[in-house]
Chain A
């Protein structure tokens, strides 16, 4: 790989990718957990937080595999 050419991999390696993956996981849980919590408050239910957290985790995994998976 020459010095002037653009890097083949996404900028930042190793530790940065780890942080990014952790960030995505946390963000998935937070985002959909929050949406679930709002729906719970709105509909008067109590289980949608849990559903939201699981959905968020699944979404985060999908995103991570899509972005950093070898395929």
Chain B
């Protein structure tokens, strides 16, 4: 969707809109009718994936008892997930989900940070594909955890909450089904996606507008200075959102796993 090329619109300021999320294909690739083209976002995804792998690999290749350098930094991530998320939400039982949750957190965080790191300046999770796939991973994981810890009774415990007279199940079971298996992954993905889209749009609008006002030859230059200061503050805010959304995605995945581990009372 591009802004219509009206003569009027060409004169004044044009705010960036959703077209800043669309990238041309670098390599056009189609397999059996499925579009597998590689564009900038796909390249960025590979780079971030490789980066996360490399960071953990080189940090813990020869782990030392007294960590230093990279190992120190990566241990901070691991400690944070372990103490603030796994032990808080799931308990000691959840330590076996540490690898998944840590990778998830670091990958989401680095994907988000691309939105504020200068040569990249695009949040990976501003496209729906990645949040959607990660949400599906979390969905499949908590269903498997439920089945492996409770057997098929997991579905009975989830869909038929105890302590309710049986005719009410006709009303509640569809709600429980939708809320557990549909709303959970959808909100997980959309919360991350929407935050990243909004952040990227706001940053783009502010910086484009700042540039426009600073280069105009009238009183707008003063407003441009103000908006420049505000734009820099917004970068700090986006840094915060990048971390916060990675944390929220991870902690909610942990909450869902915890809910699947033991039936409700």
Contact = CB atoms under 8 A, between A and B. Distances in A.
Contact of B187 (A19, A34, A59, A62): A19
B159 to A, nearest CB: 12
Most buried by B among A26, A31, A35, A67: A31
A31 B90 contact: no
A67 B161 contact: yes
Interface string A8-47: 0011100010011011101110111011000000000000
Interface string B139-171: 000000000000000000000010110001001
A30 B177 CA distance: 11
Contact of A11 (B89, B161, B171, B178): B89
Tell me the interface secondary structure of chain B in the complex. Answer: helix
B173 to A, nearest CB: 9
B94 to A, nearest CB: 9
A20 B264 CA distance: 14
B175 A66 contact: no
A26 B184 CA distance: 10
A60 B172 CA distance: 8
Contacts of B164: 66
B89 A31 contact: no
A59 B183 contact: no
Given A6-B91, A31-B177, A66-B164, A16 B183 contact: no
A59 B187 CA distance: 20
Interface stretch (B8-16, B40-48, B228-236, B252-260): B252-260
Interface in B156-208: 161, 163-164, 168, 171-172, 174-180, 182-184, 187
A7 B161 contact: no
A16 B175 contact: no
A59 B255 contact: no
A23 B190 CA distance: 13
Nearest to A12: B255
A20 B255 CA distance: 10
Contacts of A62: 168, 171-172
Contacts of A56: 175
A51 interface: no
A16 B178 contact: no
A34 B179 CA distance: 13
A60 B175 contact: yes
Contacts of B187: 19, 22-23, 26
A16 to B, nearest CB: 5
A2 B90 CA distance: 16
Interface of B: 89-91, 161, 163-164, 168, 171-172, 174-180, 182-184, 187, 251-252, 254-255, 258-259, 264
20 contacts: A11-B91, A11-B255, A12-B255, A16-B89, A16-B252, A16-B255, A19-B187, A27-B175, A28-B175, A31-B174, A31-B178, A31-B179, A34-B178, A35-B174, A55-B171, A56-B175, A59-B172, A63-B161, A63-B172, A63-B175
- Shortest 7 CB-CB contacts between residues of A and residues of B: A27-B179, A11-B258, A31-B174, A31-B178, A12-B255, A27-B178, A59-B171
